[in-house]
Structure 1
Amino acid sequence: MATVTAPTSQTAPASIPPSVCTLAHTAQLEALYTIIRDKQTSRGDFLFYSDRIIRLLVEEGLNHLPVVPKSVKTPTGATYDGVGFEGKICGVSILRAGEAMEAGLREVCRSVRIGKILIQRDEETALPKLFYSKLPPDIAKRYVLLLDPMLATGGSAIKAVEVLLENGVPEERIIFINLISAPEGLRNFCSKYPKTRVITGWIDQGLNEKAYIIPGLGDFGERRYCL
């Protein structure tokens, strides 16, 4: 039986912005993405395997938080010189699809606070418009993990960061986490906010004439929430 030693279907732009980090593209990761991209995949399997990827993404996001030296006493009486996180964190999901990533964050960050932002397209201007936001009152003092599974044109993510900045969050304290990105969206987002770290699981080929990510996986929210 032939074996695959490394995935090759990733289509990335010639030059990824320096603020962008992708997951290590192992054969296992590509298998997970193949499952959630398949239109024949059941909703139950879509939930299970997309949650696996989300947890990997959150773990990678935490790797980019700053740490400070910290010494502790072990049960043997010895001293261990390690590190601890520098400050508090919170999650902010872009509704509605971003809510699907909240559980993965809670699984690895105990009692983490989570805010929500609702952004929709203004029918008159066709531009993203803020409709609702509820954020932790001390968010300006926290590192923020911004959650949204799909980055297409980048409009919603750009608007969400604008909201965070207006609430006092420094740009460099924001980490944007998503499952799939289009090169166009990455360029738009990173040119606007070069200090914000982007953690993405996969960079797809690009957008079609309807601004859908290709090959993509369809509407994440519909596949996640619709029976």
Structure 2
Amino acid sequence: MEPDLLQNSHVHYLNINEDFDFGPKFKKLRITDNVRELQTVIRDKSTSRGDFIFFADRLIRLVVEEGLNQLPYKSTQVTTPTEQVYNGLRYEKGNCGVSIMRSGEAMEQGLRDCCRSIRIGKILIQSDEDTHEAKIVYAKLPPDIADRKVLLMYPIMSTGNTVVKACNILTDHKVREENIILLNLFTTPQAVQLVQHKFPEVTILTSEVHPVAPNHFGQKYFGTE
């Protein structure tokens, strides 16, 4: 069996493993050639910042669209311009987004493009310089968040610690665990396992599970390299 990470002189080869099974609360985008190209450009160190943002926004949009499929809908009828009755669906009211700053803010526009008037809260979590423990610095959430479904946005999950802290904040504000849907682009297996261990009812949606996450995402996207 080939290892996930091989070393040959100065080059590391990342092999993709598609066999992770984390149960019904874990969901992954269907991997098409289009999705794989987006992932490839984002991981490529030679990608310009302009191209990086363009391709990242495309992948974000796909994840957001799939995340919307996890929300509750209700049946409805509308009348068409030709006076025909059409049986369709509408979102049930009571959804919001929460971005984990700063990288999570890259996903906000993608959510607004799909849900024009959705409310978005923010959580800032930083590592302590001495202990390296993730600590809550700031949280601004809708006052009625306990009654809402929450699309929690965080593009890169390496350890899962930051997402666990964010979920702690949400549950402290009386958000039900099963009402939290994590929208993520890239995650490691151990990060998924940690979040599922701490919050087994949280839905995790990602585009890729890989032992090596592209941790340069936030710096490249916001130009802080």
Same fold (TM over 0.5): yes
Deviation at 1:126, TM superposition (A): 3.1
Compute the displacement of 1:71 (Å).
1.7
1:20 to 23, 26, 32: 26
Tell me the residue number matched to 2:204.
Answer: 198
C-alpha displacement at 1:78, in angstroms?
2.2
Q: How does 1:51-200 map to 2 (within 5 A)?
A: 51-200=57-206
Listed one character per residue, the Cα deviations across residues 16-70 of structure 1 (whole Å, up to 9, x for unaligned) are: 2321111110111111111110000000000000000000000000001111221
Q: Which amino acid aligns with 1:218?
A: N
Deviation at 1:14, TM superposition (A): 4.0
AA partner of residue 73 (structure 1): T
The answer on whether the counterparts of 2:148 and 2:175 sit within 8 Å (CA) in structure 1 is yes
- Aligned: 1:224 with 2:218: no
Query: Which has the higher mean CA deviation after the structures are superposed, 17-26 or 77-86?
Result: 77-86
How far apart in 1 are the matches of 2:221 and 2:187? 18
Give the percent of matched residue pairs that are identical in Structure 1 and Structure 2: 46
Instruction: Report the alpha carbon displacement of residue 194 of structure 1 after superposing the two structures with TM.
Output: 1.4
**Which range is displaced more, 20-29 or 114-123?**
114-123
Contact 2:156–2:215 (Cα < 8 Å) also in 1: no
Secondary structure, aligned partner of 2:167: helix
Q: 1:144 to 1:14 in 2, by over 3 A?
A: closer
Structure 2: state its 5+ residue gaps. Answer: 1-14
Q: Report the Cα offset of residue 13 of structure 1.
A: 5.2
Cα RMSD after superposing both structures: 1.5
1:201-216 aligned within 5 A: 201-204=207-210, 206=211, 214=212, 216=213
Structure 2 length-normalised TM: 0.88
Is residue 49 of structure 2 the alignment partner of residue 43 of structure 1?
yes
C-alpha contact (below 8 Å) 1:38/1:217 kept by paired residues: no
Other-structure match for 1:5: none
Per-residue deviation, 1:95:
0.6
The amino acid of 1:143's aligned partner reads K
Distance 2:215 2:127 in 1: 19
Long gaps (5+) in structure 1:
1-8, 207-213
* Between 72-81 and 137-146, the greater mean CA deviation after superposition: 72-81
Q: Deviations over 1:60-95 (max 9, x none)?
A: 000011112212222222222222212221111101
2:12 maps to which residue?
Answer: none
| 2:40 maps to 1:34 | yes
C-alpha distance in 1, partners of 2:178/2:93?
13
Farther-moved stretch of structure 1 (79-88 vs 41-50): 79-88
CA offsets, 1:141-160, max 9 Å, x none? 21111001111110000110
For 1:140 and 1:108, the matched residues in 2 are separated by 23
What is the identity, as a one-letter code, of the residue corresponding to 1:98? G
Q: Which amino acid aligns with 1:32?
A: L
Post-superposition shift, 1:10?
Answer: 3.2
Q: Give deviations 1:134-178, integer Å, cap 9, x for gaps.
A: 111121121111001111110000110110111121111111011
C-alpha displacement of 1:218: 3.5
Q: Aligned in 2, Cα 1:50/1:21: closer, same or farther, shift over 3 Å? A: same
Q: C-alpha separation between the residues in 2 aligned to 1:132 and 1:156?
A: 13
2:100 corresponds to which letter in structure 1?
I
